[in-house]
């Protein structure tokens, strides 16, 4: 159960960050790297 929460939070954090701070190329690059690590 805990692993599901961790995965969801990892997936949602980049999305929330782009919503709050807008689309940043460096942020998007780092987010795609995080997703590829999964």
DSSP 12: H
Q: What is the pTM of this model?
A: 0.38
In sequence order, the 6+-apart residues with CB closer than 8 A to the CB of 5 are none
Which helix (H) or strand (E) segment is 10 a member of? helix 2-21
What confidence tens digit (pLDDT) does each residue in 1-38 have? 789 888 888 888 877 777 666 656 566 677 777 777 66
Rounded to a whole number of angstroms, the CA Rg of the chain reads 11
């Amino acid at each position: 159960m805990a692993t599901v929460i961790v995965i969801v939070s990892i997936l949602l954090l980049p999305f929330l960050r782009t919503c709050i701070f807008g689309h940043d190329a460096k942020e998007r690059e780092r987010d795609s790297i995080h997703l590829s690590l999964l």
